[in-house]
A = this chain, B = another copy of it.
Amino acid sequence: MARSRDEKRDPAASLALLWGEQGQPKRGPKPSLSVERIVDSALAIADEEGLDALSMQSVAARLGVTTMALYRYVPGKAELLDLMVDAAFGPAPDVTSVAGGWRPRLEVWARACWQEYRRRPWMVAATGMRRQLMGPRQLAWIDSALAALSETGLPYAQQHAAFLLLVGHVRGLAQQLADDDAEGREEWDRLTADVWARHGDRFPALTAAIAGGAFAPRPGDPLDFGLERILDGVAVLVERG
């Protein structure tokens, strides 16, 4: 029930690849490829042409080999995606060097995370479809955030919950804005306005909000509002503690 998405995926194999735990072969011809080169090509394709353009064939073509050659290095597309997801993020920010306690550190972390999602918009779609696998990069980011949170003195359970809250905000925003810079934006706005003219009267609160400019593009980083609210909320909890 509802778990079919993992049916063709081998998490153990992904993890082994992720942590470099496959002993390299002793005999046989020199490999002309490597897992790393394959992942790099896949990332390049996703960056340049979007996730839809990512296929075993497109990756192979970019590397100048046959499609099936990839299967000597990677069990299948699902596992390749696992590797991409972990590799997509840059190195985790070193938050311990930020002065001012947990709050500014978390802020720096959140902004860095946000930057990564903005840099690779396809990540939202890629991770939305599969359970997250614990790769080295992923863990480094988590570790970095938890390091900042540990200074709150909150119980560990609440630190974890706060972390999830923060990531949820970043990811949610990334999804919200995933296509906002794209050229389809205009058509979208036109269509929405059209729907609006036709049926707006059925939604009074929304009508008022639109009239009040709630949906107008605003200057500044869209991350800010939620970030401040969340940290305020955590601060309330810390002080109460």
Which single member of B176, B203, B234 contacts A229 (CB below 8 Å)? B234
- Chain B: CB-nearest residue to A21: B198
A59-67, A69-77, A186-194: which lies at the interface: A186-194
State whether A11 touches B187 (Cβ < 8 A). yes
Which single member of B19, B175, B212, B229 contacts A230 (CB below 8 Å)? B229
Across the interface, which residues of B come within 8 angstroms of A215, CB to CB?
160
Identical chains in the assembly: 2
Which single member of B7, B161, B179, B236 contacts A52 (CB below 8 Å)? B7
State whether B237 touches A229 (Cβ < 8 A). yes
Which single member of B131, B142, B194, B216 contacts A178 (CB below 8 Å)? B131
Q: A6: shortest Cβ distance to chain B, in Å? A: 6
Across the interface, which residues of B come within 8 angstroms of A160, CB to CB?
209, 214-215
- Tell me if A97 counts as interface (CB < 8 A to partner B): no
Across the interface, which residues of B come within 8 angstroms of A212, CB to CB?
155-157
- Chain B: CB-nearest residue to A178: B131
- Tell me if A41 counts as interface (CB < 8 A to partner B): no
State whether B157 touches A214 (Cβ < 8 A). yes
State whether B183 touches A3 (Cβ < 8 A). yes
Residues 93 to 136 of chain A near chain B (Cβ within 8 Å): 121-122, 124-125, 127-129, 131, 134, 136
Report the separation of the CA atoms of residues A182 and B17 in the bound assembly, to the nearest whole angstrom: 24
Across the interface, which residues of B come within 8 angstroms of A206, CB to CB?
139, 142-143, 146
The 10 A-B residue pairs with the shortest CB-CB distance, nearest first, are: A168-B172, A128-B128, A229-B233, A156-B212, A4-B50, A233-B233, A156-B214, A147-B205, A160-B214, A161-B225
User: Digit string of A1-12 for contact with B (CB within 8 Å is 1, else 0)?
Assistant: 111111100011
State whether B233 touches A131 (Cβ < 8 A). no
- Tell me if A218 counts as interface (CB < 8 A to partner B): yes
Residues 204 to 240 of chain A near chain B (Cβ within 8 Å): 204-206, 208-209, 212-216, 218, 222, 225-226, 228-234, 236-237
